[in-house]
C-alpha cells in the first residue's frame, strides 16, 4: 500500500492540510476511522490542488460528527437524510459523510442508505478514479486505499465505472462523466462509453432539481463550453429534454471571449439561446428552474426579439445602448459569443466593450448646484448628456457644460 503524505503536503491548500491534521488528532484513540475520499484524492495524485474536501467517517457513534466538527473549530451547517454533513471551518466548507452502502429502488430514485466499511463505501462510487481514499488515522496517516485500480486509470487518463449498473443507479453520473472527461482530458473507457449510451434514457427519470444541479456544475467548469457541446454531441442534453440544445461555439474562443469563460450566467445564456421559445418553456418546466434561470431566459428572449433592430446598419450608439442597458451584461456576453449574425454580434461586443462604460462627467449634484430644481428635469438632462456622449456629440467636460448652460437658458427664455 502506498503512502501519499508527501503529495498531501505538496498539493493541499495549507488550510485544508491543517484541517485534516486537526481531524486526525480529534479521532486519535477513538473507535472511528476517518478518510479523505473522492475527488480530493484523485486531484492530489494528479498534482492538482483540490477545491473541496470530502471526508468519510467509518462507524461513527451518535453525535460523533458534531464532536468532530467542534474539534476542528467548524460548524455543521446542513445535514442530509443520507448521513452527509456540510461543515464550515473558517471560510472552508467540507463534506463529511458516514461510510455507506446505497440501494436504489429504481433508476434515478434516491438511495436507501446503510452504514458499511470504507471498502464497500468506495465500491458504490461513480468512477474508479473517484473511488480511492487516504487514511487520516494517526497510525496510518497518508496510506492510499485503492481497491478498484483508480491510480492505474489516472495514469492512463481513463474514466471507468466500477460496475455495469453504475449509470442506472445514478444517471447523473453520465453528466459527471462528460464533465470529468473534458476537465481532466480523460478518455471514457470503451465499455463505460457503451453503458453511458445505453443508460442515457434513464436521465428522463431523474428529478429536475438534480439535473439542474449537475448542469450548474458543468457550467461552472473552466471548460464549460466544451462540456456542454460534448453533452450535445453525445445526445446527453437531448436525453434530458429534446428542447435542451447547445450549438457549436467558436473554438478556441478569442481573447475577449475567454475573459468571461467560467462565469455561470454567460454560459447559461448561451445554453438558453439555442432553444426556441416553446422549447425553452418546456425545458424550464422539466428542470424546475429557479428565479435565476427564468431571469436569464427572459433576457435572452428579449435580445432575440430585438434581433432586427440590433443588426440595423443605421442604429445609433445611443439606441444600441438603450436596447441593452437594462440587461445583465453576462447575458449580453453569452449571446455575443453565441450569435452567428455578424452585425448583431459586433454590436453586442461594441456595447460590452465600449458603450457600457461611457458616462457623462457631469452628475446630478452638479446640476442641482447650477439651480436645476430637484425632479424629472435632472434625470432628463443626465439622459441627454449620456446619449450625446454615446453618439459622439460631446467629447469633453466643456462640451457638457455648454450643453447644460444652453438647455437652462432655453428653459428660462
Residues that bind ligand CTP (CB under 6 A): 38-39, 52, 54, 125-126, 130-131, 170, 172-173, 176
Exposure string over 27-41, b if 16+ CB within 10 A, otherwise e: beeeebbbbbbbbbb
Question: Nearest approach, Cβ of 224 to ligand CTP (angstroms)?
Answer: 13
Residue with smaller CB distance to ligand CTP, 49 or 52: 52
| Cβ-proximal residues to 274 (8 Å cutoff; 6+ apart), any chain | 245, 246, 247, 338
Whichever of 179 and 317 has its CB closer to ligand CTP, that residue is 179
By beta-carbon proximity to ligand CTP, the closer residue of 198 and 298 is: 198
Residue that the C-alpha cell 439606441 belongs to:
319
Q: How far is the CB of 94 from ligand CTP (least distance, A)?
A: 10
Judged by CB, which is closer to ligand CTP: 130, or 338?
130
In whole angstroms, how close is the CB of 127 to ligand CTP at the nearest point? 7
CB within 8 Å of 389: residues ≥ 6 apart: 358, 359, 360, 400
376: left (phi over 0), alpha (psi -120 to 50) or beta: alpha
- Rounded Cα distance, 339 and 319, in Å: 20
Under a CB-based contact definition with an 8 Å cutoff, are residues 224 and 261 in contact? yes
Q: Which residue has the cell 471548460?
A: 223
CB of 43 to ligand CTP, least distance (A): 7
Whether residue 294 contacts residue 300, with contact meaning beta carbons closer than 8 Å, is answered with: no
Q: Burial-class residue 124 by CB neighbours within 10 Å (0-12, 13-18, 19+).
A: buried
d(CA 164, CA 390): 61
For ligand CTP, the closer of residues 52 and 276 by Cβ is 52
Q: How far is the CB of 23 from ligand CTP (least distance, A)?
A: 17
Q: Which is nearer to ligand CTP, 44 or 296 (CB)?
A: 44
Separation of alpha carbons 47 and 6, rounded Å: 11
Give the residue among 122, 99, 139, 113 at the shortest CA–CA distance from 42. 122
Shortest approach of ligand CTP to residue 261 CB, angstroms? Answer: 18
Q: How far is the CB of 227 from ligand CTP (least distance, A)?
A: 11
* Nearer residue to ligand CTP within complex by CB, 20 or 362: 20
Minimum CB distance to ligand CTP smaller for 180 or for 273: 180
Q: Which residues pair with residue 84 across a beta bridge?
A: 97
Tell me the closest approach of the beta carbon of residue 402 to ligand CTP, in angstroms: 59
Q: Looking at beta carbons, which residue is closest to ligand CTP? A: 39
Residues 226, 218: Cα–Cα separation, whole Å: 10
Amino acid at each position: 500500500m502506498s503512502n501519499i503524505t508527501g503529495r498531501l503536503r505538496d498539493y493541499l491548500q495549507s488550510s485544508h492540510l491543517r484541517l485534516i491534521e486537526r481531524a486526525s488528532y480529534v479521532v486519535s484513540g477513538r473507535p472511528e476511522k476517518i478518510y479523505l475520499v473522492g475527488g480530493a484524492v484523485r486531484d492530489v495524485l494528479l498534482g492538482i490542488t483540490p477545491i473541496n474536501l470530502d471526508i468519510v467517517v467509518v462507524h461513527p457513534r451518535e453525535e460523533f460528527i458534531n464532536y468532530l466538527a467542534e474539534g476542528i473549530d467548524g460548524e455543521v451547517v446542513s445535514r442530509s437524510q443520507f448521513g452527509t454533513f456540510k461543515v464550515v471551518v473558517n471560510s472552508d466548507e467540507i463534506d463529511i459523510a458516514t461510510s455507506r452502502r446505497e440501494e436504489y429502488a429504481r433508476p434515478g430514485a434516491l438511495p436507501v442508505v446503510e452504514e458499511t466499511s470504507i471498502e464497500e463505501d468506495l465500491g458504490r462510487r461513480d468512477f474508479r478514479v473517484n473511488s480511492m481514499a487516504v487514511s487520516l488515522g494517526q497510525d496510518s496517516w497518508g496510506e492510499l486505499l485503492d481497491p478498484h485500480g483508480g491510480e492505474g486509470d489516472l495514469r492512463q487518463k481513463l474514466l471507468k465505472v466500477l460496475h455495469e449498473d453504475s449509470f442506472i443507479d445514478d444517471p447523473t453520473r453520465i453528466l459527471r462523466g462528460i464533465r470529468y472527461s473534458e476537465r481532466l482530458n480523460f478518455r471514457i473507457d470503451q465499455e463505460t462509453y457503451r453503458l453511458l449510451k445505453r443508460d442515457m434514457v434513464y436521465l428522463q427519470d431523474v428529478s429536475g432539481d438534480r439535473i439542474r444541479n449537475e448542469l450548474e456544475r458543468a457550467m461552472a467548469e473552466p471548460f464549460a463550453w466544451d462540456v456542454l457541446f460534448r453533452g450535445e454531441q453525445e445526445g446527453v442534453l437531448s436525453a434530458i429534454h429534446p428542447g435542451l440544445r447547445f450549438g457549436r461555439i467558436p473554438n478556441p474562443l478569442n481573447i475577449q471571449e475567454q475573459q468571461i469563460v467560467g462565469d455561470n450566467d454567460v454560459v447559461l445564456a448561451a445554453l438558453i439561446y439555442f432553444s426556441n421559445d416553446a422549447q425553452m418553456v418546456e425545458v424550464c418546466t422539466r428542470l424546475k428552474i429557479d428565479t435565476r434561470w427564468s431571469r436569464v431566459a427572459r433576457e435572452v428572449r428579449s435580445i432575440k426579439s430585438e434581433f432586427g433592430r440590433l443588426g440595423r446598419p443605421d442604429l445609433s450608439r445611443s439606441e444600441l445602448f438603450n436596447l441593452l442597458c437594462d440587461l445583465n451584461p453576462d447575458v449580453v456576453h453569452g449571446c455575443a459569443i453565441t450569435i452567428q449574425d455578424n452585425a448583431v454580434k459586433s454590436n453586442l461586443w461594441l456595447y460590452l466593450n465600449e458603450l457600457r462604460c461611457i458616462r457623462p462627467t457631469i452628475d446630478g449634484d452638479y446640476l442641482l448646484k447650477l439651480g436645476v430644481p430637484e425632479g424629472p428635469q435632472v434625470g432628463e438632462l443626465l439622459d441627454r448628456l449620456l446619449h450625446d456622449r454615446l453618439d459622439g456629440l460631446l467629447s469633453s467636460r466643456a462640451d457638457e457644460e455648454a450643453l447644460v448652460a444652453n438647455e437652462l437658458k432655453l428653459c428660462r427664455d
